[in-house]
Amino acid sequence: MRNADAYTIKHQSISSINLMEKAAKAFVKVFKKEVSNKESKISILCGQGNNGGDGLAIARLLDDENYKNVVVYLITFSTGQSEDNKKNIKRLLKLKVPVTIIKEAKIVKNLQSDVLIDAILGSGLNKPLQGDYATVATFVNGLKTKVISVDVPTGFNSEGGIAEKYNGIKADLTICFQRPKINFFCPESVKALDKFKVVDIGLDENFIESQKSEWKLTTESEIQQLLKPRKNFSHKGTYGHALLVAGNNTTMGAALLSASACLHTGAGLTTVCLPQSGLTALNTALPEVMALPRNQYLAMEAFDRFSAIAVGPGLGVEEENEELLEKLVNLRKPLVLDADALTILSQRGDLLYELPAQSILTPHMKEFDRLFGEHKNWWKRVETAKREAIARDLIFVLKNQYTFVCLPNGNVHINPTGNPAMASGGMGDVLTGIITALVAQSYSSADAAILGTYLHGKAGDELAKERFTVSASQVVLQIPKTMKKLLATD
């Protein structure tokens, strides 16, 4: 963003002070919707850098908008002051907005306001908060006032691991400029923010897009371009034959959910390789789906006819399933590996390192750590996934509210869809079914992982608009509607 900032200033003949003005305007536009009462008591805490400069410009713009009780507190714990900060203080001092200089943290302890705007430190943070800065953050967090941060909460680093003992400001809302910070997508960010909104401040988009970055936030238009419509004169053979090796006596539901997701995501044919005890349930619940009984007579030739094979949902970790997984790995065709298949792999390092290229692994945090060891935080976990994806030509779908899809080319696609209403059993089985259906329909492993993850979350988001919780079966039935809508708006 700093490069984009500099590029925009140079190539669009916009001065840095005007860019700051644009950022402040974009902030105020969202702020007005969040805090519509013009009588609200608003305290703005400003630092001495450009984040503080934004805060000063915001104070002036809120005054223009007739917010009647705006008070600015200028934090002067450091010696330097940025040029644009100086310019904005001059502009502000022409108005009647009260400005108090803060030399000691204790003044913040008793601030009386309805809303506090945090513009102390932004993306310029270069070390953890210490001394008075840390004390101010502690006092702000104790105020029980709604806190809205400018660009990033004070003390929160935009990239890299989030400290286990975060000591910065906890914001109710962060209004962030142009692009979300990568750390917003790590679960540990809950220590620093409840939600964030990204506002366009007019940085050069072509330049941003041209910048090399391994981080890609999946967008709806990319998904619309990936998604292939059904073809004229097509038939079931056109859309592949998916196999799910799944289910066990007490976990047959996982196999059914996966198979149902596969069917509804458009695989031409779906077969489940399951124990005899699941046949009645499968035939009753999903008459469209075929069965391949999983017993001692199962020959590996039976696996030749499938265009995609997933293994793991509700499989069980018994010896015979471990042997079957080994045989599947030895077929040397890409696999989709989930749940118990991942558990088996975590005990069979030899198999893990023999996985066929382009296989897709869909672990949640615990499954991932069982495979590759404990990780201190999500940043480190994603680093490992990136490294393993590159080294072994694998795709990792690291499940989380914002799932990270790590590809063999080193890119990490952050999936923006999905929500807490979906946090319930069976969701992972559904995701496996969706991804497998896409592989069966000839999507590359990378595209199937990116697209499948997006569709899964998007279907859940559509359902969550009207529901407190969303079940896995509901997501399955929503998938065809979600796909249709995405194509319709293309």
Ligand X SMILES: NC(=O)C1=CN([C@@H]2O[C@H](COP(=O)(O)OP(=O)(O)OC[C@H]3O[C@@H](n4cnc5c(N)ncnc54)[C@H](O)[C@@H]3O)[C@@H](O)[C@H]2O)[C@@H](O)CC1
- 476: its two tokens: 């399955």
Binding mask 95-124 toward ligand X (x if CB under 6 A, else -) reads --------------------------xxxx
Shortest Cβ 211–ligand X spacing (Å)? 13
142 is in an annotated binding site: no
Kindly state whether residue 126 participates in binding ligand X, applying the rule CB under 6 A.
yes
For residue 41, list its beta bridge partners: 69
Q: What does the per-residue mask of binding to ligand X show for 150-169, with x meaning CB under 6 A?
A: xxx-----------------
| Cβ neighbours for 130, distance < 8 A, ≥ 6 positions apart | none
Please choose, from the candidates 146, 172, 173, the residue with its C-alpha nearest in 3D space to the C-alpha of residue 30. Answer: 173
Query: How far apart are the C-alpha atoms of 11 and 388, rounded to whole Å?
Result: 40
Regarding 78 and contact with ligand X (CB under 6 A), the answer is yes
Q: Is residue 461 annotated as involved in ligand binding? A: no
**Binding residue for ligand X (CB under 6 A) from 35, 44, 47, 408?**
47
Give the nearer residue to ligand X in terms of CB position, either 1 or 99: 1
Number of residues that bind ligand X (CB under 6 A): 30
- Assign 117 to helix, strand or coil: strand
Q: Is 181 annotated in some ligand binding site?
A: no
Distance CA 256, CA 86 (A): 64
Measuring CA to CA, which residue among 64, 143, 50, 130 is closest to residue 97?
Answer: 64
DSSP annotation string for 16-83: HHHHHHHHHHHHHHHHHHH---TT-EEEEEE-SSHHHHHHHHHHHHHHHTT-SEEEEEEE-SSS---H
Q: Is 54 in the site for ligand X (CB under 6 A)?
A: yes
Beta strands per DSSP E along 250-315: 269-274, 290-293, 308-311
Which range in 42-50, 257-265, 401-409, 457-465 contacts ligand X by CB under 6 A? Answer: 42-50
Nearest to 377 by CA among 180, 165, 218, 121: 165
Q: Is 184 in the site for ligand X (CB under 6 A)?
A: no
Q: In this structure, what token pair is assigned to residue 107?
A: 């003044």
Which two three-digit tokens encode residue 46?
């400003």
Query: Is 204 or 429 the residue whose CB approaches ligand X more closely?
Result: 204
Query: Which residues touch 436 (CB under 8 Å, ≥6 apart)?
Result: 242, 244, 258, 262, 267, 308, 309, 310, 336
Site track for ligand X across 452-481, x = CB under 6 A: ------------------------------
Q: DSSP code of 421?
A: G
Q: Which is nearer to ligand X, 56 or 324 (CB)?
A: 56
Report if residue 125 touches ligand X, rule: CB under 6 A: yes
260 sits near ligand X (criterion: CB under 6 A): no
Considering only 42, 72, 102, 129, the residue that binds ligand X (CB under 6 A) is 129
Output 81 or 474, the one with its CB closest to ligand X: 81
* Residue closer to ligand X (CB basis): 55 or 316: 55
- Annotated binding site, which residues? 50-54, 118, 122-128, 133, 151, 154, 254, 314, 364, 399-403, 428-429
Interface positions with ligand X (CB under 6 A) = 1, 4-5, 19-20, 23, 47, 49-54, 78, 82, 121-127, 129, 133, 150-152, 177, 201, 203
